[in-house]
Chain A
Amino acid sequence: MSCAPFQELLSAALDGELNSAEQAQLDQHLADCSACRSLQERLRRLETGFAHLPEASPPPLRSRATIAPAPAKQGSAAGAAAIWSAVLAAAASAAVLFWNPTGPAPRGSELYFSSHQLLQQHPPEQRLAVSEFRSPPLHGKVLDHGQLAFEIHLDSHQRACKDLQLEVQYDFDGDGQVDRSEVYEAFDTDDKEGWEVYTRRHGPVSQQGEMKDFVGGTLACRLKNASGYLQLRQGNSRLVLPYHLGV
């Protein structure tokens, strides 16, 4: 009798994936076949090797710059480091989760940032009235007729936070001067636990300065509200800049 069909049964038995009829068939064969008993032994030994595969150290993440948020007036910003990662590729459709699902995906280069629990962990008197993120140095050409898009994940827990506004400041040449600024329409968070998403539905409500190419400049995102404190946490957020960013 050929042993071939029993080899698959031996393998599946090792994984606990045989039904009782197959198990009985296999047991009967093993009783008569020393070659398959030997194979069973070797398969068992092979199995122990998986727990001892060599491990490699992971390489660093590419395109990932960790920077500190704008300094708080008081207290330390420790633990509130913002993460930016510039993805030097066109905004891909695969990532479209919260962008207007019926509209075209925004064109440009994606920037991600995150500041979990930026505000939660500070006592109320130290909460920031403005939450600011600054990008690493950027280089790239502005796209014709492009528009900035954003998706900012926010949660203000059980207290609504009214009239949040995103202000985006461009410093195209890195001289520290704001060359262009845009302010977007206000957003209110709700009073329930769970994330909400602030996205751009219309163009900026106000803007100053012209769009230009980035030559080593930076972009700052400021989230602010008129009434003072932002008592909320901010999750992974992103912008699509209407730029073809390069290195």
Chain B
Amino acid sequence: MTSVVSHKDSPTTPTFDEIYQEQARYVYNLALRMAGNPADADDIYQEVFLRVHRFLNTYRGDGLKTWLRRITVNVFCTQIRKQQRETPEEEVGSELSTVEGEPGTLLDAQELGEKLAAALNSLGTVMRAAMILRGVEGLSYQEIADLLEIPVGTVRSRLSRARLQLLSRLAGPA
């Protein structure tokens, strides 16, 4: 199967079906990781593809992943604002204990990934989203700030707190 991305220099817009077939998995997993549960992820994913269908003609060929990510994060942000159920980002009082913790046994990569997925779900919504956009998507602090509409300094402090919380989850009892 040819890649949609490789078509970006041609004047032809990728079709909805091409985008869906090649990117549904990416969009759904991004939504799932940011939302933290399959029900919200499904809502986001459905809405993303409706918007893709509606607005495909406005896509200018400047990076399909970037475009889809922007739509997904926008839908995600709309959803959390609408639901108004972002849990207040609780203060982290456990920095010192995480510093003192032992590195622990070395997990193999897959095991680490599974434990990390569970630990991510313990984070507040925005903290988790920022962590996914950084850790999985590899975005800069500025890009994350723009997408989530929060200050760059907040991105930086939340990522730091998110990592400490993740470490303490991973070190703690399963």
Residues of A within 8 A of B (CB): 3-4, 7-8, 10-12, 15, 17, 35-36, 38-39, 41-43, 45-59, 61-62, 81, 83, 85, 87, 95, 97, 112, 114, 116-117, 153, 193, 195, 235-236, 238
Q: How far is the CB of B120 from chain A (nearest CB, A)?
A: 8
Task: Check if A54 sits within 8 Å of B103, measured CB to CB.
Answer: no
Task: Check if A58 sits within 8 Å of B24, measured CB to CB.
Answer: yes
Task: Check if B136 sits within 8 Å of A50, measured CB to CB.
Answer: yes
6 A-B contacts, Cβ less than 8 Å apart?
Answer: A11-B159, A12-B160, A50-B116, A53-B113, A53-B136, A55-B29
Interface size class of B (residues with CB under 8 A): 35 or more
Given A54-B113, A59-B42, A83-B53, A12-B16 contact (CB < 8 Å): no
Given A52-B112, A83-B16, A235-B56, A3-B99 contact (CB < 8 Å): yes
Task: Check if A52 sits within 8 Å of B113, measured CB to CB.
Answer: yes
Task: Check if A236 sits within 8 Å of B103, measured CB to CB.
Answer: no
Given A12-B160, A42-B103, A56-B32, A62-B25 contact (CB < 8 Å): no
Q: How far is the CB of B134 from chain A (nearest CB, A)?
A: 6
Going nearest first, the 3 A-B pairs with the smallest beta carbon separation are: A52-B113, A58-B28, A50-B135
Task: Check if A43 sits within 8 Å of B167, measured CB to CB.
Answer: yes
Residues of B within 8 A of A (CB): 11-13, 15-17, 20, 24-25, 27-29, 32-33, 38, 42, 45-46, 49-50, 53-58, 95-96, 98-101, 103, 106, 109-110, 112-117, 120, 134-136, 140-141, 156-157, 159-160, 163-164, 166-167, 170
Residues of B with C-beta under 8 A to A17: 140-141, 156
Residues of A with C-beta under 8 A to B136: 50, 53
Q: How far is the CB of B83 from chain A (nearest CB, A)?
A: 17
Find B54's partner among A61, A62, A95 (CB 8 Å cutoff): A95
Given A53-B136, A83-B17, A235-B13, A7-B32 contact (CB < 8 Å): no
Task: State in angstroms the CA–CA spacing of A95 and B55 once bound together.
Answer: 9
Residue of A nearest to B31 (CB): A58
Task: Check if A61 sits within 8 Å of B49, measured CB to CB.
Answer: yes
Residue of A nearest to B115 (CB): A49
Task: Check if A43 sits within 8 Å of B54, measured CB to CB.
Answer: no
Given A8-B160, A35-B100, A57-B25, A236-B53 contact (CB < 8 Å): yes
Task: State in angstroms the CA–CA spacing of A114 and B116 once bound together.
Answer: 40
